[in-house]
Amino acid sequence: MYRSVTLSFAVLLAVSIVGSSSCLWSDPEPSPNIQPVINDFTVGGEVVDVLRVREGETITITVIAWDGNGDQMEEENFTWEATLGTIVGFGPSVRYEPPTDVLWENPPQAVVDTVTVTVTDGQPDSEPVTRTIDVEILPPCPADNQEPVINSITADPVMIDLGDSATITIDAVDPEGEDLTYEWTPPFGYIDGMGDTVDWVSTDVCCTAYYDIEVVVSDGCKETWTFVSVYVNV
């Protein structure tokens, strides 16, 4: 009994070795090519769905693409096109220059360009994959545009314990009435929220002191900045 079981194991082992080696050496079907996949467009490392570029400025667009077979994708595997503007450069990252011949109305009309990227993996049976992204073209900044005016900035409360947060509110207007954007920079911790009212959360300050929270206010052409101080008890 013991002997026959050992023999069966030996036969089984031999069959499986022969089976796997015949599979290795006589497989008539090479694995099929897999097309590249385009995931996203990014600008400055951030994923973007739509781009905004002001006439006279340029922007670097990167396409995030990969290949399921791990085929190397070289510069020549990427082809870029813009309907209105100009693409400068080659490969996965290129520079986009908006058109300079737009006849701007007052107020400015909407001008949207389309940028298309085509990606191949260089394989003979490969179908290229394409993806487009819209680019909103903004008119050039008027020479007489004035920067935003900051009326006030306040923190509430002005004194907090470590781990607590303070609400920061800024009151700013633009002389031309343009929409304003606010870019907040905390000294430590993080900013919760966006716009003209945010919370500064003091997660990890080192010591009891005043800390300045900065904000840059922009009308899209010109910017100004200010800060407010919050006292943190550690």
Q: Which is nearer to Ca ion, 54 or 187 (CB)?
A: 54
Residue 219 lies near Ca ion (rule: CB under 5 A)? yes
Q: Which is nearer to Ca ion, 82 or 117 (CB)?
A: 117
Contacts of 175 (CB under 8 A, 6+ apart): 146, 148, 149
Assess contact for 142 and 95: CB atoms under 8 A. Answer: no
Residue 73 lies near Ca ion (rule: CB under 5 A)? no
- DSSP for residue 110: P
CA distance 111 to 101: 11
- State in angstroms the smallest separation of the CB of 71 from Ca ion: 4
The residue from 176, 192, 204, 212 that contacts Ca ion (CB under 5 A) is: 176
The residue from 71, 78, 80, 170 that contacts Ca ion (CB under 5 A) is: 71
Assess contact for 39 and 119: CB atoms under 8 A. Answer: no
Structure tokens that stand for 128 in this block: 């290229």
Give start and end residues of each alpha helix (H) in the chain: 2-26
Residue 174 lies near Ca ion (rule: CB under 5 A)? yes
Assess contact for 166 and 200: CB atoms under 8 A. Answer: yes
The residue from 42, 58, 62, 69 that contacts Ca ion (CB under 5 A) is: 69
The residue from 119, 121, 137, 205 that contacts Ca ion (CB under 5 A) is: 121
Q: Which is nearer to Ca ion, 55 or 71 (CB)?
A: 71
Q: Which is nearer to Ca ion, 176 or 204 (CB)?
A: 176
Question: How many chain residues touch Ca ion (CB under 5 A)?
Answer: 11
Over the Cα atoms of the chain, what is R_g? 30
Site residues for Ca ion per CB under 5 A: 33-34, 67, 69, 71, 121, 145, 174, 176, 178, 219
